[in-house]
Structure 1
Amino acid sequence: MTAVATGAARAATALAAARDHLLGLQTPEGWWKGELQTNVTMDAEDLLLREFLGVRTAQETAEAARWIRSQQREDGTWANFHEGPADLSTTVEAYTALRLAGDPPSAPHMRAAAAYVRGAGGVESARVFTRIWLALFGLWRWEDLPVIPPEIMFLPPWCPLNVYDWACWARQTIVPLTIVTAHRPVRPLPFGLPELRGDISGLDISGRDITGGQVARRGPRTGWDAVFAALDRALHRYERRPVAGLRRAALRRAAEWVVARQEADGSWGGIQPPWVYSLIALSLSGYGLDHPVMRAGLAGLDRFTIRENGTRRLEACQSPVWDTALAMTALLDAGLPGDHAALTRAGEWLLREEIRGPGDWMVRRPGLAPGGWAFEFDNDGYPDVDDTAEVILALRRWGRPDARPAVERGLRWMAGMACRDGGFAAFDADNTRELCLRLPFCDFGAVIDPPSADVTAHVVEALAAEGLARSPVVRGAVMWLLRAQEPDGSWFGRWGANHVYGTGAVLPALAAAGVPPGAPAVRRAVAWLEACQHPCGGWGEDMRSYRDPAWIGRGEPTASQTAWALIGLLAAGERGRAVDRGAAWLADSQRPDGTWDEPHYTGTGFPGDFFINYHLYRLVFPVSALGRYLRAREGTS
């Protein structure tokens, strides 16, 4: 038997085991959902939220504290991803939560954390959102935070810096924060945090008299930075004496806006940041804990809570629609027939998840009929282009005639969300006003939603699969992708790590759109992927590649990233040593139960700031890659 035949046999064995493991994870309702793992800020902020609202219990505190402690590293710090660098703000929030749980500052693990914080500049250097949490409890001065007044609710959509200039996730966070920062509440804790100051000389040892809080002086600001610094100073003056009637009306409108966007499961956007700030904002607006909106919001958090081995941790979000669409595609790639019972349950569940109502996306596309899918169980106000593309790809291959109306509605909505430059973003069209990035308030995470290569590629693939490869929308998107190619031949991955993800998404899209394998853009991408392959045969890219170009294409090999590279190479027509070695690495690194270990994070929330370990990625993408590899070896399409 030749080496190629032996490799194919090993790949087939690995595929069968992975397919069976994936089938075993499906719920009776038809959906799949892997854990969406992030970092301990979720758990720290949950405890702080409950403390602020007066609902924190001893059991919740003890369980969350055990989890937070378990994630602390030997140097006393916490990171935002596996084996990542220490993160100052995450460490400050984790430390504060542990103080809330009763851990004394004299404990060795607390001393180590505090020493790191002081050495990294203290709480003075933490992000704005961290300092907002401290301000809620009198541990930071509200006067030393940037201002975004609730009066922005009156800015029309055409006006710069109106709320619809922010990405949907930032928009849903900023609106409730305008309420919070206008009220400037302080609910003191029985302890201070003087040990976390960059310079603790002259502070009262109790830490309760907060008179510092000055961010380190910077050099002179110029250009837009100077403009927004002047604007922030003017807003601080206005905050000292706002126009009373206007302020009351703005607060009322902001609260009504927040309430109107609560989802059926009690969440806001199905994600943690707007959820916790909305609960705080509505509490300050007079909504009692017994109000249906507040009851639903607090109860909904239980659905995002994972309890095991005496610990308690929260998911920042949940991804059942995304996971189910990817699982369907993977199983179809593995050779399951469309009428298999698992695919039938999954397809029927996805059809029930179609969104037929309005959403914020209509601000920029008022004449577009609704359709499409969201990421979560309940996020009906915010369908997204990426999920819609993947669901369409899965449903059309599933092949049930009764899926066609939903697919066609999704196609029309998705195509209608094209941006002016031809690319596609996740949630909104033309959400690209970079002035938002200049605001002093926005020092963490992506706050706008511009087109990205991975989302655009998925749209191209879905539209081309429907016979629309020559349509103006697809041609415009392909031209966008060709312009977006990096000089090294890769593509930047907005929602996955990083250039391996982007390149692995774009190559199948270009092939589906009819770009030949010999095209220069394809050849450069193939060469880049092959150059990044590890000697062991796998691929990996560290999250630090978002900030440090030295990490682009470099990192510990992972199952998901190896699968992305294989999918891209196979789409480009590659059948040689690189794909054989990649498939062999997947077969060799598989666990006995059919899945793969993948502690490294390969999903992205905010490039450079917030990262995700999708626990199902390590399974669905290898199943797809191995299935396509074996089909290519057999010479079938």
Structure 2
Amino acid sequence: MTTTADGASRPKSPPPTGAPGARSASAPADGTEEAARRAVRRATDRLLDQQDAEGWWKAPFRTDVSYDAHDLFLRQLLGVLDERVAAASGRWIRSKQGEDGSWPLVFGGAGHLGTTVQAYVALRLAGHRPDEEHMLRCAAWVREQGGVGASQLTARVWLAMFGWWSWDDLPEIPPEIISLPAWAPMNIYSFSAVMRPALVALSVISAHRPVRPAPFGIDELFAPSDASTPSDASTLPGASASAGASTSSGRTPAPAGGWESAFHRVNTALRAYRRVGPRSVRKAAVNACVRWLLERQETDGSWGACTPMTTWVILALRLHGLPPEHPALKAAWGFLEDCAVWPEDDVREVQTVHSPVWDTCLAANALLDAGLATDHPALVRAADWLLTRQAERPGDWAVRRPRLAPGGWAFQFHNRSYPDNDDTAEAVLALCRVTHPDQARVDDAVGRAVRWIFGMQSGNGGWGAFDADNTSALPGKLPFFEYGEFCVDPPTADVTAHAVEMLAAVGKGRDPRTLRAVRWLLDQQEDSGAWYGRWGVNHVYGTGCVVPALVAAGVPGGHFAVRRAVTWLTSVQNADGGWGEDWESYADPGRVGRGPSLPSQTAWALLALLAAGERDSAAVRDGVRWLTERQTDRGTWEEPQFTGTLVPRAVAAWYGSYRHVFPLMALGRYVRHQGHGAVAADPAPGGTRPGPETPSPRR
């Protein structure tokens, strides 16, 4: 028997016979386990101290500085840019500039052209002069990369609104797309939920083609090959026609063939239609887009509870003619102000999104893994708060599942339109492990969530993030966004793994739908033995999600797929004992599983190895030692690197909680001799009982 951190006794499972890396089950004699126990206690205390009185946790969430730039662009275009806001935002943006003059997508990463162009313009709006040394370095870097013409589409859309790029050299986004039915091969619901509101807003903006020239030019960012001239456009209130626009000329040649050529021809036809099409049809389409947007505004004033979407929609609504005092716009501006944080009196950062549901779920599960009593007041408060966040009305997901009752959780404080399968799975995992005084209320919420998760399963057996069966190849071929296959929301291994782990925890591990998902996960394993990570960087994350889920669902630790995963993880472990994977692994296969050791990524690897029965292996011991030796005096870990992903290769994310909750999870399971936190494998006294069989949803 083994005594765990919460004082309970339970049998200890030895590693599978013949498992690679297996060692004697006796505790290490080098003090590793005691160091891990001390680290767990310190990390637990720190996490408890950070809980809000209402029961939630929320850590900072950060992306690259392009969204700080968008905030300034919006204010400048609408004539409301405050000098103090501009200067403070400029200081934040400037603080993230690299030595070569560029701005990266991730901490310490290579410069990104679109982000750099937008950051430069934002600094100009903030009062930085083009002859300052850091601005000269930036302009030279941009020209070396091909200039504005080589930058990403989003940057050029904003530049067109300032008169620096031609609207005619941007793809048409016809608002008439709003009228296409859901069964059409291409419609707004063919796009991912995280892009859908932006697409609708951009179609309104594209219909108006606004221009409000800035009081300066940016000729220093144009390379000789840049090709764009100003085009016909609607002038925003208070702006002159096209002062400050680029004087370059020419047009980008049409692609030679294939999908790009086809859509180029479609784009040409749409441009012609804009000039000769019935104005009444265009007006009706724009009105329909605006109605669609207004119907999806959240109670906090946002769209999708994130600043990028809300920024685009505010601009679209103002162009449509809504006055500044309109309730929808006043609420939206209030949301943007709430998302601005001032780390110093003269520095302003825009939080892309708030992540309280995700952070609370992870914090609660980490504390439970650490051995905190299941009826601890902090966990009960967290459960109470989570219960108030469950969606009670259908969102866009209901377009594909019209008969499915709601029951999911979203990522943010207020986002009932776009709950997601990932947050829902983690919320249920937390709720069903907490001993709650109103167990019937918890059971009801869990039951609704399980039915919703089953209903959101895609036809191939996996789960995407926001929609079911959102797998069309067409959106990725369109020039509206430059995200390729990530314009849609197909099933992914990491989200599917969390759903499987949750279903196993509530007694649904043998359900045929769960078993189908397990088979899908096994089929997704790569030749190396790893799984791709869609929402975290990258194969270390994917593998760290999948292995615990497979074991929780009954796949034995000696299964060939599990052993291959163990072999891969041990092969990419760094010499210092930790694990790391560079963001560039999304673009460069040679970097898969490679990078400096980081706390969150080391924890992900450990979670997989512990689930596989490798607790007493040298790899686990070295990884545990790496974490314990790098815990700070404040009981946490430092990790400025971005290990979260919004769009692979395009938008990375820094979760302030990851550096703390995942190491606590891994160390907690290590000291408690647990392979994973699933209730089915380790029932908590008084925890949620497996519910009755869930009927198959009608599709």
**TM-score of the superposed pair, with normalisation by structure 2:** 0.89
Match of 2:657 in 1: 616
Q: CA deviation at 1:566?
A: 0.5
Q: How do 1:309-388 residues align onto structure 2 when only pairs under 5 Å count? A: 309=344, 310-388=346-424
Match of 1:95 in 2: 120
Matched, 1:632 2:657: no
Match of 1:461 in 2: 501
Question: SS state of the match for residue 434, structure 1?
Answer: coil
Counterpart CA distance in 2 for 1:354 and 1:508 is 25
CA distances 1:544-592 after superposition (whole Å, capped 9, x unpaired):
0001001100111111111111011111111211111111100001111
Report if aligned partners of 2:161, 2:210 keep a CA contact under 8 Å in 1: yes
**Percent sequence identity over matched residues?**
49
CA distances 1:294-346 after superposition (whole Å, capped 9, x unpaired):
00001111221110222001111111000000000000111111111111111
CA distances 1:343-399 after superposition (whole Å, capped 9, x unpaired):
111110000111111110000001101111000001111110000000000000013
Match of 1:479 in 2: 519
Match of 1:232 in 2: 267
Report if aligned partners of 1:193, 1:207 keep a CA contact under 8 Å in 2: no
Q: How do 1:154-553 residues align onto structure 2 when only pairs under 5 Å count? A: 154-199=179-224, 208-212=244-248, 216-217=252-253, 220-309=255-344, 310-400=346-436, 401=439, 402-444=441-483, 446-553=486-593
CA distances 1:217-274 after superposition (whole Å, capped 9, x unpaired):
47x4322222111111111111222211111100100000011111111110012222
Q: How do 1:140-159 residues align onto structure 2 when only pairs under 5 Å count? A: 140-159=165-184
Match of 1:82 in 2: 107
Report if aligned partners of 2:27, 2:33 keep a CA contact under 8 Å in 1: no
Counterpart CA distance in 2 for 1:208 and 1:521 is 60
Q: CA deviation at 1:200?
A: 7.8
Paired letter, 1:493: G
Report if aligned partners of 1:136, 1:186 keep a CA contact under 8 Å in 2: yes
Counterpart CA distance in 1 for 2:622 and 2:330 is 54
Match of 1:601 in 2: 642
Question: SS state of the match for residue 612, structure 1?
Answer: strand
Report if aligned partners of 1:127, 1:444 keep a CA contact under 8 Å in 2: no
Report if aligned partners of 1:150, 1:250 keep a CA contact under 8 Å in 2: yes
Compared CA separation, residues 202 and 619, structure 1 to 2 (3 A):
closer
Compared CA separation, residues 202 and 521, structure 1 to 2 (3 A):
closer
Report if aligned partners of 1:124, 1:214 keep a CA contact under 8 Å in 2: no
Q: CA deviation at 1:634?
A: 11
Counterpart CA distance in 2 for 1:266 and 1:243 is 34
Q: CA deviation at 1:3?
A: 4.2
**Structure 1, unaligned runs of 5 or more:** none
Larger deviation: 443-452 or 509-518?
Answer: 443-452
Question: SS state of the match for residue 632, structure 1?
Answer: coil
Match of 1:10 in 2: 35
Paired letter, 1:295: K
Counterpart CA distance in 2 for 1:88 and 1:262 is 32
Match of 1:126 in 2: 151
Report if aligned partners of 2:163, 2:243 keep a CA contact under 8 Å in 1: no
Counterpart CA distance in 2 for 1:183 and 1:10 is 62
Report if aligned partners of 2:44, 2:367 keep a CA contact under 8 Å in 1: yes
Compared CA separation, residues 160 and 213, structure 1 to 2 (3 A):
farther
Question: SS state of the match for residue 397, structure 1?
Answer: coil
Report if aligned partners of 1:124, 1:213 keep a CA contact under 8 Å in 2: no
Question: SS state of the match for residue 479, structure 2?
Answer: coil
Paired letter, 1:457: A
Counterpart CA distance in 1 for 2:487 and 2:323 is 31
Question: SS state of the match for residue 518, structure 1?
Answer: coil
Question: SS state of the match for residue 265, structure 1?
Answer: coil
Q: CA deviation at 1:622?
A: 0.7
Report if aligned partners of 2:611, 2:674 keep a CA contact under 8 Å in 1: no
Counterpart CA distance in 1 for 2:434 and 2:228 is 66
Compared CA separation, residues 357 and 454, structure 1 to 2 (3 A):
same
Larger deviation: 278-287 or 235-244?
Answer: 235-244
Report if aligned partners of 1:141, 1:213 keep a CA contact under 8 Å in 2: no
Counterpart CA distance in 1 for 2:206 and 2:27 is 69
Counterpart CA distance in 2 for 1:216 and 1:600 is 37
Paired letter, 1:241: V
Counterpart CA distance in 1 for 2:662 and 2:295 is 37
Report if aligned partners of 2:409, 2:420 keep a CA contact under 8 Å in 1: yes
Match of 2:4 in 1: none
Report if aligned partners of 1:36, 1:316 keep a CA contact under 8 Å in 2: yes
Counterpart CA distance in 2 for 1:536 and 1:461 is 31
Q: Identify the match of residue 39 of structure 1 among 48, 64, 86.
A: 64
Counterpart CA distance in 2 for 1:41 and 1:213 is 27
Q: Identify the match of residue 582 of structure 1 among 623, 642, 650.
A: 623
Matched, 1:19 2:55: no
Counterpart CA distance in 2 for 1:115 and 1:187 is 26
Counterpart CA distance in 2 for 1:456 and 1:509 is 9
Q: CA RMSD in A?
A: 1.9
Report if aligned partners of 1:354, 1:371 keep a CA contact under 8 Å in 2: yes
Report if aligned partners of 1:542, 1:554 keep a CA contact under 8 Å in 2: yes
Question: SS state of the match for residue 169, structure 1?
Answer: coil
Report if aligned partners of 1:372, 1:414 keep a CA contact under 8 Å in 2: yes
**TM-score of the superposed pair, with normalisation by structure 1:** 0.97
Counterpart CA distance in 2 for 1:213 and 1:130 is 19
Paired letter, 1:535: A
Counterpart CA distance in 1 for 2:250 and 2:225 is 12
Counterpart CA distance in 2 for 1:187 and 1:616 is 40
Counterpart CA distance in 2 for 1:2 and 1:470 is 34
Q: CA deviation at 1:444?
A: 3.6
Counterpart CA distance in 2 for 1:535 and 1:16 is 27
Paired letter, 1:177: L
CA distances 1:478-531 after superposition (whole Å, capped 9, x unpaired):
111011111100000000010000000000110011111111111110100111
Report if aligned partners of 2:177, 2:188 keep a CA contact under 8 Å in 1: yes
Report if aligned partners of 1:541, 1:552 keep a CA contact under 8 Å in 2: yes
Report if aligned partners of 1:194, 1:207 keep a CA contact under 8 Å in 2: no
Paired letter, 1:614: Y
